Amino acid sequence: MSIVSFIDYLNLEKNYSPNTVLAYQNDLEAFQMFLKTEFSMEDLQEVHYTQIRTWIISLVEAGLANRTINRKVSSLNSYYKFLVKTEVMSHSPLSKHNALKVQKNVHVPFSEQEIEEVLFNAPADDFVSVRDKLIVELLYATGMRRTELINLNLSAVDFDQNQIKVLGKRNKERYIPLLPTVSKSLKTYMALRNELPNSGPSKALFLTEKGKAVYGTLVYRIVNSYFENASTKVKKSPHILRHSFATHLLNRGADLNAVKELLGHSSLAATQVYTHNNISELKKVYAKAHPRQTK
């Protein structure tokens, strides 16, 4: 069965995002090219694990990180599971494969003080500065992903209900409450947005000065530049703002399930990643509250 059938499955049945589907397709086509070059074969159904292992070794020798290699192998594994599911193959050549060990990345969130300092000192006197400040403010106030922010339409904002509709992974919708300060910033921005000469045709909430929808690298640059002088953190990205949102809520006693819903996670396990940052707060509570601590 061709790769095309699998891609159709990801698009139509799994409802994966275009970026995710493209990543799967690129990984599979790269492996197919490797097979053709190294083994003079193209049919993925004839593959044995020894050939996949040779591919993995070549990726390691090429200097790719284990995390990246695991992702590529995961694409291949999903393809073979699809072939087994559709009874094209009886078993997957990756059924006994063990993923490469990956060092766990610990994302350090911004402190509440760092975020307050950035938002307090940020200029907001023209379209670009108002937009940029709002992007930072909205990412932190809602915990939405960078892609979700980019895909926001004007219709997503509901000032009557004081909430915003976010389209998450696999087109799953969720509603996130808006703080009064964020609603105020949104109204200011939208008034300026409507004055842009080329804003009419676009339904996107966030636009460039030329009336085009903002894009991923622009949003990343905005967040990075805002925190460049305010924070000593190594990584300053939209994801760290999402991480900060979750961590600060949990630090202040928010229910884990509630944070899960706000983040748009499908499982609680994904949200529990953020709880490791709570340990310092837990130690403080423990030191103050445990009966043996005072003896």
With contact defined as beta carbons under 8 Å apart, do 204 and 214 qualify? yes
Between CA 70 and CA 52 the distance in angstroms is 12
Q: Which of 169, 174, 220, 233 is catalytic?
A: 169
- Tracing tokens 């509901």 back to the chain, one arrives at 158
Based on the residue annotation, tell me whether 107 is a catalytic residue of this protein: no
Based on the residue annotation, tell me whether 169 is a catalytic residue of this protein: yes
Q: Which of 133, 243, 260, 265 is catalytic?
A: 265
Q: Which of 107, 145, 146, 248 is catalytic?
A: 145
**Which residues lie below 8 Å from residue 71, measured CB to CB, with a gap of 6+?**
23, 27
Based on the residue annotation, tell me whether 170 is a catalytic residue of this protein: no
Q: Which of 9, 16, 226, 274 is catalytic?
A: 274
Dihedral of the CA atoms 170, 171, 172, 174 (nearest 10)? 140
- Segments of 100-231 assigned E as strands: 157-158, 163-167, 173-177
* Phi, psi dihedrals of residue 84, rounded to the nearest 5°: -70, -40
Based on the residue annotation, tell me whether 239 is a catalytic residue of this protein: yes
Based on the residue annotation, tell me whether 145 is a catalytic residue of this protein: yes
Q: Which of 242, 243, 248, 260 is catalytic?
A: 242
Between CA 121 and CA 117 the distance in angstroms is 6
Based on the residue annotation, tell me whether 235 is a catalytic residue of this protein: no
Task: Show which residues are catalytic.
Answer: 145, 169, 239, 242, 265, 274
